[in-house]
Amino acid sequence: MATKGEQFAGLTVALVTPFKNGAVDEAALRRLVDWQVEQGTNCLCPVGTTGESPTLTHEEHNRVIAIVCQHAAGRIKVMAGTGSNSTQEAIEMTRFAKSVGADGTMQVAPYYNKPTGEGFFQHFRAIAEAVDLPIILYNIPGRTAKNMEPDVIARIAEIPNVVAIKEATGSMDQASQVVSLTNLTVLSGDDSLTLPLLSIGGRGVVSVVGNIVPKDMLALLAAFQSGDIASAQRWHFKLFQLCRDLLGLSTNPIPIKAAMKLLGRDTGELRLPMTPLSAGDESKLLMTLKTYGLL
């Protein structure tokens, strides 16, 4: 069975949203887009978890999507984060993303209100019927408080414009079920699980670490794709400690923003309730960056 959503295979970078003195730094955002284009990244995902979407106003959220789409100007695909726990709000944000030229929309499972399986299905069906844009589901129960079970995902996958899923349950069993039950393009939602996921039929990653080392993640994907498993494993182990620190030292995107600050790529500024890394964790991160060869 051919997969839908093959246009989203490869490396999608979950972009940080740069802030300066409390405001979105639009010039810095454009520079990030240019840099990712130069690195060969396949797709950008603005205003997801890594983009601190929960603390952006609706106006800022739309503005970030508009800037990324306009500045990408067809040079790189854009999968805009427009999910919500309000179906109507998700529809409105997705309409906006389509109007500014997004190639697809990432739709997180509705968080906090914990819908039933039927609720999940009707939510995504309503968005799909309202806006003709490819939908990438995003299942991250650690943040949403409710797992979308494989049988529910299989039902949602029958909706024609639902084409892919960002699988961030951390469960290879669940990922295996999704791959076997659906024709969705399955993307890793955990950098350190990318290679295991590829081995069961995954087709790429929506990456946090790609904010700083996109070429290395592209190298892992290319090695696997060409059948060079030994090289793919070498890249996996090289990236592994960096990935663990970026997602393990503190809540995402606190460590990646700290890393970008240490590398001179971002102010490192976050919005409350996100707070900077502790001095101890920052020195651990510094060691990891040095060990990796980035500093």
Long-range (24+ apart) CB contacts under 8 A made by 125-129 are 125/156, 125/159, 126/87, 126/91, 127/87, 127/90, 127/91, 127/94, 128/159, 128/160, 128/161, 128/162
| Largest CA-CA distance found in the chain, in angstroms, rounded | 51
Is 114 considered catalytic here? no
Given the residues 4, 77, 98, 166, select the one marked as catalytic.
166
Q: How far is CA 123 from CA 111, 115, 118, 131, 245, in A?
A: 12, 9, 8, 13, 34
Nearest residue to 54 via CA among 182, 162, 147, 140: 140
State how far the Cα of 46 lies from the Cα of 62, in Å rounded to an integer. Answer: 10
Given the residues 4, 77, 138, 257, select the one marked as catalytic.
138
State how far the Cα of 20 lies from the Cα of 8, in Å rounded to an integer. Answer: 31
Is 166 considered catalytic here? yes
DSSP-assigned letter for residue 51: T
Task: List active site positions.
Answer: 138, 166
